[in-house]
Structure 1
């Protein structure tokens, strides 16, 4: 098995993924997509930015949209367990020779900004402004009824190296795809919060953000979103699905925002809290690994992703042919 053994007592304690910040080229167009169509709730907006949360979230935001000259993914955020973990995280990244900086962030407490060894911009915090619950304010539910942010998926030029590093951080692998000829990882799914994944890595030119995913109540919410998008000018933004993944068992839909940032709508994966849960292996030649049922993924799904701000791209080290729709 190519995945490393889990680190059950990591150098600092990551609770879960928290938020993503996107650079967008037209803030009004992005607002129409994320608020009026997907149904995320605005927690703050001004002329340069919009902060959003999903219906079950008590933290101030899970997405920040900022007006930018070029579309990009600016940072991925993670919540830590307690204040001492921030100092331990600083020592860990500094010890790896990676940049560390304490920054001021709106609506957040002390925040550590760094990068992983591959160039993915990361930030860690403990405290974010807490907002009143809205999960029972059903009049606010619209669009796909997003409940919470679920995971990030990233293109990685060396998936084995990415998995090794994030294993050090305490992420545990739940499922992985292995190339039978080389024994190398094509993709891997890793978690902290007890679902199938908080982060995933897919073979490709990287680092790039493949998608951000949101958990929804049930598959019917996805059908409702498809009806809405197809009649409000967004039918061309539907990229893949609906369908069901073999890996994760999730019912899924992939859509693109006005700048091309990919969003997955996601439901029905499974619990992974046991620390001795064995990872599930999939062969790259198994056609049901990515699509248990439904149309195969289009070429764009394998080739296109959001650039991380200031990250240097590296071509994939693994040449293998996935299944691509005609």
Structure 2
């Protein structure tokens, strides 16, 4: 199926991805991992939750950890341009037959909760509490020195359907993987903010969250993180990398937090703001697709992910197989 033509004038204006809320089984252990090892900055905490932002971010939070009985993702958050976009979004999702509700969120303004066509829980807001800048307070830079949240990647049971849905919301495809036999999409990368992606989809059992990514200053920050993790008890939490993706050209590392939520550390992709940018096509069997240097990903990377709360999971509709590390 061909990639759909970009919708440059969607019904409402999404600016970018914003935040994720994780359920964690040991709040103290997860807080230590995100604050002391990764280097995210705590903006609020109590006995049940911890809020973090990255070093270049002015908004109050990009990750929320909430104490729970099992590891899940509660919601993926997105920022819209203006308050009226929230009202337009409510009309849009209602017309699609999808659930909508207005919820109260600490440190956020009016917030609309809904789901996408496969059940991924989403929320949209226009205003969040603004904090003082800290990007030049270099005394705070530690761990991998995360500058900002960059993207989500979700397992989708039908990537073509996911791409069509988010394309209608104004997300634009930058790169994609096509299964040559079926001519169906196996994966796709879509953006709003002008990087390679705010939202990506990988074929698999879903919907599940594959990973959340953070942008860091340079590849050396990733090397420093590997040295830190390997000497502070987190050796087994290193899953894949470091390496350079063929798709996106980004330098990457995949790690797992104490509950198994996958985090990508990411830098060096490219600008995609031109509205007529042509998407780059990849063959599923191209060994440089996953890693420019040819190294395939481990089986866990294709099979394991974070479930969404109160969301039914089903098998993928596409049986095509990528190259998997032995």
TM-score range, shorter chain: over 0.9
Do the aligned partners of 1:243 and 1:294 also contact (CA within 8 Å) in 2? no
Do the aligned partners of 1:244 and 1:294 also contact (CA within 8 Å) in 2? no
Q: 1:166-185 counterparts in 2 under 5 A?
A: 166-185=166-185
Segments of 5+ residues of structure 2 without an aligned counterpart are none
Alignment partner, residue 162 of structure 1: 162
Alignment partner, residue 40 of structure 1: 40
Do the aligned partners of 1:251 and 1:267 also contact (CA within 8 Å) in 2? yes
Alignment partner, residue 267 of structure 2: 267
Q: 1:89-168 counterparts in 2 under 5 A?
A: 89-168=89-168
Deviations 1:275-317 (A, max 9, x none): 0000000011111011111632110000000000111111101
Aligned residues: 326
> Deviation of residue 2 (structure 1)?
1.5
TM-score of the superposition, structure 1-length normalised?
0.99
SS at match of 1:236: helix
Alpha-carbon distance in 2 for matches of 1:31, 1:64: 10
Alignment partner, residue 251 of structure 1: 251
Alignment partner, residue 57 of structure 1: 57
SS at match of 2:287: coil
Moved over 6 A (4+): none
Deviates more, 1:289-298 or 1:237-246: 289-298
Do the aligned partners of 1:189 and 1:197 also contact (CA within 8 Å) in 2? yes
> Deviation of residue 321 (structure 1)?
1.4
Alpha-carbon distance in 2 for matches of 1:158, 1:294: 26
TM-score of the superposition, structure 2-length normalised?
0.99
Residues 294 and 284 (structure 1), Cα distance of their counterparts in 2 relative to 1, 3 Å cut: closer
Alpha-carbon distance in 2 for matches of 1:48, 1:321: 41
RMSD, aligned α-carbons: 0.6
Alignment partner, residue 14 of structure 2: 14
Do the aligned partners of 1:244 and 1:250 also contact (CA within 8 Å) in 2? yes
Alignment partner, residue 321 of structure 1: 321
Deviations 1:228-275 (A, max 9, x none): 000000010000000000000000000000000000000000000000
